[in-house]
Amino acid sequence: MIYRNFMNKNCFRLFFVICSFLFVSSSYAAVLHWSPVASTVDCIIGGYKVHYGTVSGQYTQIVDVGDVTSCDLDLLDLVPTQTYYFAVNAYSTTDQEGPLSAP
């Protein structure tokens, strides 16, 4: 669990838990899931960004998935034989971004 203030501006605190990183179905579809971040009076969650790359902690790609709590990895341009690392962060309606989740 990550607990930090967004941009140190008391916008809101991020309680972010990755529920399950990967779900593989019988058709080999992969979906990344995460728990939603609660909005506060001072800060409303606008959506989430999925960061990914081939080295843990070095995410070369970012996809804004909007106000959802999952991402169909089949929609990303991934190489099937390559290992990928993913992290997610929330952003507010005023474009303040929270810290990345654990990879």
Structure tokens at 88: 């997610």
User: According to the model, what pLDDT value does residue 8 have?
Assistant: 40
- The answer to whether the pTM exceeds 0.85 is no
User: According to the model, what pLDDT value does residue 67 have?
Assistant: 95
Sheet bearing 70-72, strands edge to edge: 20-24, 30-33, 70-72
User: According to the model, what pLDDT value does residue 84 have?
Assistant: 93
d(CA 78, CA 54): 10
User: According to the model, what pLDDT value does residue 6 have?
Assistant: 42
Q: pLDDT tens digits, the chain, 103 residues: what are they?
A: 333 344 444 444 444 444 444 444 445 568 999 999 999 888 999 999 999 999 999 999 999 999 999 999 988 988 888 999 999 999 999 999 999 999 9
User: According to the model, what pLDDT value does residue 58 have?
Assistant: 95
Report yes or no: 48 and 79 within 8 Å, Cβ to Cβ: no
* Full DSSP string of the chain: -B--BGGGTTS-B--B--SEEEEE-TT--EEEE-PPPPP-SS--EEEEEEEEESBTTB--EEEEEES-SEEEGGGS---TTS--EEEEEEEETT--BPPP---
User: According to the model, what pLDDT value does residue 74 have?
Assistant: 86
